Chain A
Amino acid sequence: MAAPLTLLLIVAVTIRAVLFRSSLAELISARVEVVSPLNAWKRVVEGLALLDLGVSPYSGDVFHETPLMIYLFHFTVDYAEIVFIVSAYFVDCLSCFLKPLDRAKMAINSNYLKSDLLFNFPGCCELISWFITIIVCLCFCKFHFLCTCKYTDVRLCHQIADGITALALYLSIQTYNKDVFRKQKYALESDRYSADCLELLRSPKEMFYIPLKVAMFYLLNPFTILSCVAKSTCGLNNAIIALFIFCTLKGSALLSGILLALATYQSIYPLTLFAPALLFFLQRLYIPVNLRRSSFWFFTLQYAFMYVGSLVVITGLSFFLLGSWDFIPSVYGFIFSVPDLTPNIGLFWYFFAEMFEHFRLFFSCVFQINVFFYTIPLSIKLKEHPVFLIFMQIAIISIFKSYPTVGDVALYMAFLPAWSHLYRFLRNIFLVSCVLLACSALFPVLWHLWIYAGSANSNFYYAITLLFNFGQILLVADYFYAYLRREHHLTHGLYLKKKDGTEATLVLK
């Protein structure tokens, strides 16, 4: 598996590096679909410029990144050379050190059962060695595509972020598959599945390439590539969420809590991922979800404490870095009250541009609540399937958030290969794919007609965003339907019969 993944990483990095070098990069970084006021790189640079001028970046309304982000970039840009040298040095040391370790591990693994080899969990050092592979690739790229631009090294940052996301997703799905397979085996042994649903069961063979496909769906998705080339900080947020999923699936509650807090701190919406993570840990620790059990409450409080604690620490840290609470209204107030109506692929901009003033507060509450609203019912419905719940939540966030970009869409789309076994139950995947493809093509066309040619007006672009969101909703709802239906078939049998013995159709009642 290592070779294809390395190859994939190299291909992905090369595509990005080539695009970075081309004149397209500037065009892409100005696209409203790719960057939003929250994560545009131009605004980060503006924030850095304001810091250099001695003006608080939050005193204006251009910069909306979190303080940790700006100081991260401040450091990366200022000490780019040092960071680069240090990382290169570490790469050298670690790769020398890890190679034999890795080989030894492989040797031990080969002694295990053949079937287990599939789920052979790459240990911590393997993650590190992957990380190093990426850095080596990138350093290679850097040497070849060295540019005089002051912010060149930040490209490295974005590429690393994409690599980390893909890697974390790859390892998460690998762990998840292992988990799924194990559960399936137990269920089969305890005869919980109906007899005629053997063809619904998942085989190791078909699951083997799924992690790779997930990584590929993320890395080679044009949306991700555009987002990375535009240097949108959305890639970094995705990396944090992907690492959070990885840590959750690995069962590390502390790391998961910290990363979830970080993700929440970055864009508030990942707050809803608390529920699936909690459900996953409870399931993993065999704690039943029962409100009267003290063990349930004990663990919930423990996890909540880790989450809230790290959130407080991170927020406090940003306060001490910045010396004021200015960033709270400027980041979170900006997300919730949607003052910037620059067009994007979401539902908010035109709606609030055309809104009657006295209804504004009401409708901003209604629209914002959509993200959080589905969490509890979904958690109840999917309490046995927290990973699918994570997927659902990420999708809902990316549809209903106030400033969505294609980078957000790319994150949940990366999960689609993991649900490839649902394909037979999808009802309108063809229609939805056509809608999403057509919309993606029409975005720039109608934007051009409105903004540059002046031959169309805002309604054209709005219609496309509407259709795009409609397609996304259909897609997510379809996957949800298919998942529920497969679960139903697993317990009730695939070929259902009516009372009179004829073939039955399933309906939702």
Chain B
Amino acid sequence: CEIKQLSDCLIRLLLDRRDGTRTSEALTPAAAARDEFQEELVIRPLHSGDIYASFQFRTLWDTDFLQEGQKVSHYRLFPKSLGQVLSKFSVRELHISFTQGFWRTMQWGQPFIPSPPGAELWVWFHDTVSDVDGNWKELTNVLSGIFCASLNFIDLTNTVQPSASFKPLGLGNATDHRFLRYATLPREIVCTENLTPWKKLLPCGSKAGLAVLLKSEKLFHSSFHSQAVHIRPVCQDEQCTSKAWELRQTLNVVFDLYTAGQGKKEWSLFKMFSRTLTEACPLATSSKVYVDITDNPELFELSPATPLLSQAVVLGDRRTYSVFDLTRAETFGQLRSLNLLLRWKGDGEMLRPLLHAERYVAGFGLQTGEIHTVIYNNHPYRAFPVLLMDSVPWYLQLYIHTLTVTSKSRDNKPSYIHYQPAKDRHRPHLLEMLIQLPPHSMTEVTVQFERALLKWTEYTPDPNHGFYVGSSVVSALVPSMVAMNTNFTQDQPLFSSFVPVKEESSYFVRVYTEPLLVNLPTPDFSMPYNVICLTCTVVAVGYGSFYNLLTRTFQVDEPSLPLAKRLANLIRRIRGVPLLT
């Protein structure tokens, strides 16, 4: 598999080099659809002393791949490799993320775009697709080549069709979850080879603009790294008369500069990325750096200071940002380079995230166990419902009758349960439920499972390391402290406009729990020949003894005559004398 993946990668890289000229060609026929590119970096100092940097690159293209009879062949900003994949497999929406490390919600708050550890892929197919599973299989293999990741390990045994947790984020009100596929690979390790193809999808590559900061030796020297691609159809304008395709490439990284910097709470772009910014991407219509200064100036000081301030309501909280517009020359000052610098002055109290979840395995021994999922509602007075989704591999046999949901030590019956039991070696368990979380409470969901003994060829090469179970997904509309912005405007910062806001009073949050590592009983891998021989021996003992008794009869044991007597008898027979006995 590794070899196949490598060769896939090589082919991909060669292909990319061949059409790498696409940006420089700049052939823009008059008839071509309008497209635009925006880039954005948000830096949020976290109260733990860590720095959260979130890159977003958005390509908007006013065209429709999926329209009948229209063959799209002119690509300008939108990467051709993805465009072709979208049209070939009739993808309506595609979300893929690669994450190294675990987002610590309790210390860091909510991320702009959450993602589970490992790889996650969810796709809504167009409702004209007849063979969804076949398309999904091919799509995962193609994406595996594009991103140089082990997505080809996604098959029916780890794919589920959530009924409620994953709604389309773009246009269209699809509810038929037969066209949805969701899979995670919690074991996937994300590294440079995934970052390089991801950067190649950007119109400026990593040559100009914000992408120059994306140096893998720094990005992967961090507490958390997550890169994602989200493709969805969106409205072209406020009236929503026609459809545009949106490609969002996001990269979130949390640097632990506090411990790395000998306990000094200060950072700069150069310290984080070992680069400074010198220009915007020439193809970008907007290129901005936002620094969250809501707690300024009590806690830290930012230099160079900027007069531009922007306010945005994000994740139920009104935040103030300093904005550095890279398209304007004065941003770079005399040195022609922008290096943001920030010094902390003290500690502050962080707003506790309203929703938070964690998960662990309980029990001992290798026979049974219990999965505990704990969901916290930290809202002081509002109760709200959450959707919990669990996808558990088939080799952990869940017993749904042992499912208990308790809040405040009282039974809390889920108002909706969607359960699809696993089929051995064919599909995983899918458990989705709608739980009402009482205000300021801890809700515990437990379910028992039994560990299966697998065939010796089904174990991973390091079987005693254990098997990963993907994160549970908690999705909720959390009541907001401030009124959310429901207006659709183009000039909203990208990070606040990813999830469409439908109502003012609440905002959508998705929380991923830790993936689980579960040990399974193992056979002795050195034994196959011995086992086959020994078991067959026992069966043969059974066969032999029955065969013996069935085919033979009892007879009196007459000892045969000694050799001398037999010889004598031979002679006697010839002579016709009575034989000896």
Contact = CB atoms under 8 A, between A and B. Distances in A.
Interface string B234-277: 00000000000000000000000000000000000000000000
A90 to B, nearest CB: 32
Interface in A291-340: 339-340
B107 to A, nearest CB: 34
B549 A477 contact: yes
Contacts of A356: 528
B327 to A, nearest CB: 56
Given A500-B581, A508-B549, A55 B452 contact: no
A423 interface: no
Interface string B379-423: 000000000000000100111110000000000000001011111
Interface stretch (A104-112, A122-130, A236-244, A455-463): A455-463
A484 B557 CA distance: 17
Interface string B542-577: 110110111011111110000000000000000000
B521 A458 contact: yes
B452 A399 contact: no
Contacts of A484: 549, 554
A506 B399 contact: no
B420 A59 contact: yes
B529 to A, nearest CB: 9
Contact of A458 (B394, B523, B542): B523
B277 to A, nearest CB: 55
A50 B398 CA distance: 12
A343 B454 CA distance: 11
A80 to B, nearest CB: 17
B516 interface: no
A8 interface: no
A470 interface: yes
Contacts of B419: 50, 53, 55
Contacts of B367: 30, 32, 451-452
A59 B455 CA distance: 22
A367 B539 contact: yes
A41 B282 CA distance: 69
B524 A458 contact: yes
B457 A496 contact: no
A357 B531 CA distance: 14
Secondary structure at the B interface, as helix, strand, loop or mixed, is mixed
Given A48-B401, A508-B549, A451 B521 contact: yes
B421 A59 contact: yes
Nearest to B529: A354
B554 A485 contact: yes
Given A59-B420, A60-B421, A498 B558 contact: yes
A261 interface: no
A374 to B, nearest CB: 6
Nearest to A378: B550
B126 to A, nearest CB: 27
B541 interface: yes
Interface residues of B, number: 55
Interface in A494-509: 496, 498-500, 504-509
A407 to B, nearest CB: 20
A351 interface: yes
Nearest to B544: A477
A438 interface: no
Contacts of B579: none
Interface in A333-388: 339-343, 347, 349-357, 367, 370, 374, 377-378, 381
Contact of A347 (B397, B539, B552): B539
Interface string A50-87: 10010100011110000000000000000000000000
A342 B453 contact: yes
Nearest to B552: A508
Categorize the interface residue count of chain A. Answer: 35 or more
Contact of B556 (A349, A399, A466, A496): A496
A32 B552 CA distance: 39
B456 A353 contact: yes
Given A48-B401, A351-B531, A356-B528, A341 B554 contact: no
Interface string B276-305: 000000000000000000000000000000
Contacts of A377: 546, 550
A96 B578 CA distance: 83
Interface string B419-431: 1111111000100
Interface in A467-509: 469-470, 473-474, 477, 480-481, 484-485, 488, 492, 496, 498-500, 504-509
B532 interface: yes
Contacts of B528: 354-356
B522 interface: yes
B535 interface: yes
B556 A459 contact: no
A155 interface: no
Contacts of B524: 354, 457-459
Nearest to A481: B549
Contacts of A399: 542
Contact of A62 (B365, B397, B417): B397
Contact of A507 (B400, B456, B523, B557): B557
A341 B523 CA distance: 11
B368 interface: yes
A54 to B, nearest CB: 9
Nearest to A470: B538
Contact of B364 (A62, A374, A452, A505): A452
Contacts of A352: 455
B534 interface: yes
A181 interface: no
A45 interface: yes
B527 interface: yes
B417 A354 contact: no
B366 interface: yes
A483 B429 CA distance: 53
A31 to B, nearest CB: 10
B542 A370 contact: yes
A400 B543 CA distance: 11
B562 to A, nearest CB: 14
Contacts of B397: 61-62
A59 B420 CA distance: 8
Given A53-B419, A458-B522, A458-B524, A466 B538 contact: yes
16 contacts: A55-B420, A60-B423, A61-B421, A62-B421, A341-B453, A354-B456, A354-B524, A370-B543, A378-B546, A400-B539, A451-B521, A466-B535, A488-B554, A498-B556, A507-B557, A509-B552
Given A53-B400, A499-B558, 6 more contacts: A53-B417, A59-B421, A343-B453, A399-B542, A507-B556, A508-B553
Q: Which 3 A-B pairs have the closest CB atoms?
A: A60-B421, A49-B401, A477-B545
